[in-house]
Structure 1
Amino acid sequence: MSKVLMKGNEAIGEAAIRGGCKYFFGYPITPQNELPEYMAKEMPKRDGVFLQAESEVAAINMVYGSAGAGGRVMTSSSSPGIALKQEGISYIAGAELPCVIVNISRGGPGLGGIQPSQADYFQSTRGGGNGDYRLLVYAPATLQEMVDLVMDSFEVADYYRNPVMIVGDGMIGQMMEPVEFREPKKRELKEKTWVTTGTKGQRKPNIINSLALDPAKLEEHNFKLQKKYNEMEKNEVMYENTNLENAELVVAAYGTTARIVKNVIEELKEEGINVGLIRPITLWPFPTKAFDEIPDSTKALLSVEMSLGQMVDDVKIASNGRWPVHFYGRTGGMIPEPEDIKSKIKEILGGR
């Protein structure tokens, strides 16, 4: 299969359609606008439905309804738009409905700016909505990885009956790279006997909601959800380790920031400094076990982010006191510069 040069947001749309997405509900916001534009153009041609909602709140509730009827459905937005969807995301997780949510992140807080950012890490991994719920969160670093994960995410969402979020900063939405559209990885999926598509006189009515006024029943429901999240932690963790052998320092970075770090690693090699990289692909479940592969030669860890320090908390948890954990970040739409990362690494290693 040949590769095609595509812009990130448009590649996400094409991957979603090929992954089985039949319904898209969204609302315009930069820097993800090319994604709904692509869906508006392509979905009606390909037996799908595109609808621009009157707001982000309306869009996520349309996702709830479509998922409840058994459809493969997606929405997308950028940071403050995802914030508006949080109540609906919590409802969807509570009702155990599968869907895919794409966040092409920008700088904040508030309306902020339209430049790339990774300051939505807490929002995506801790949940901006209420209650004990989790999303499976992917953070691709390349457009090919983005395309692959988008296509697979509909299967994963159906398998767990849970929302899946894909987080990419504004750079990955706006850059162009060659991509290949492969077949998504199929899973053994159960029949959707829970859908609200009408009884046709053949079964009892299905009711989908997230309301449970009896505290004992609500606790039981939460225990059921937690069992599912534990399965995700056991089976769905994804990460990439680079150049760990004999590393003096190991950097943790994800998404496009990790690509910058890989260049820094190659440049430092020429100066005789060996640095490794742990790149989480799933932000949740976080790849804590990846840190067990860090060698005895490592003196410290460094979390590099396009934020003022959010993933660093998970790095500290994964470190479990085995190494000192440092942080370097830029925010507000500023992108970490390779020279600044190199300087930070040398400073940690004693001014080399």
Structure 2
Amino acid sequence: MSDIDIIASAPSGRLLGAADIRRIADEAGISPTKKFGQNFVIDPGTVRRIVRQADVTADTHVLEVGPGLGSLTLAILETGATMTAVEIDPPLAERLGQTVAEFMPEAAKRLTVVNRDALDVGPEQLPEFADGKPFTLVANLPYNVATPIILTLLERFNHLDSFVVMVQKEVADRLAAEPGNKIYGTPSVKLAWYGQAKRVGTIGRNVFWPAPNVDSALVRFTKSTAPRPRELRKPTFALIDMAFAARRKTLHAALKKHVDPRVFERAHIDPTRRGETLSVDDFMALAEAVEAVEATEATESVESAGTPTSPNAMEEQE
């Protein structure tokens, strides 16, 4: 969908420019804070670009995290979509509805604002996303908590099927990194558990107020159509954490206190490899092998406990 198509199908209203952002902030007594990682987008073209990358239409149900002063919120609503915005900062959450009513009044009924920390929300706090229907995340995420927010939402919401987020460029590179890449790490593998991520654009610093000290980038994610077993997520993630806590060590050295050496043979993974060379499927194979070896040990222990070990023991059983 092009910007022209969006505008043609949009409800009456307009997006925020730099002067609008500063005026709204001044009227509401709001100043961007480092605590919440706030950098407000002041360029309508940028927010329309994000919405276009996310393929948002009037039929899309959208979750936005960190709407700030409403730049991206209005661009999402401009498509005709229904959305919920989760904002941690009370003054911003209180002001958002007023901004939408001023700039796009016909869209106000399609917006729900929730004043909460995105790391604390689940289906109980956002029941509109608990009906089993797919939805998408579209957000300019705070740099300091972007990865935890993404992974937490994917864990808690089974029907979060896609997202397009703007994050710090280095974070975007890590989220989309492949095995063997020097920036491939814990976020890369854990996100790959749920689906595929790709960096889809770079955003300059001049579209923000205040301008950050780093460049930003867009990451697009699509959930896998064949989800991995939920019961293996926790043990797999534990192995990922251990392997990357000592990323320069071999798997044998990094996991020796936690993993029986037989696990590597059973998973068909060379213990002299480093964690940074393993895909998420490799880590899942290790987790499956750990469970299999532990189950074998438990069975052998029970059988050993029930087997007579001396003539006296046999006489006692008789």
Q: Which has the higher helix share?
A: 2
Q: Which has the higher contact order (CA 8 A, sep 6+)?
A: 1
Q: TM-score, normalised by structure 1?
A: 0.30
Q: TM-score, normalised by structure 2?
A: 0.33
Larger radius of gyration: 2
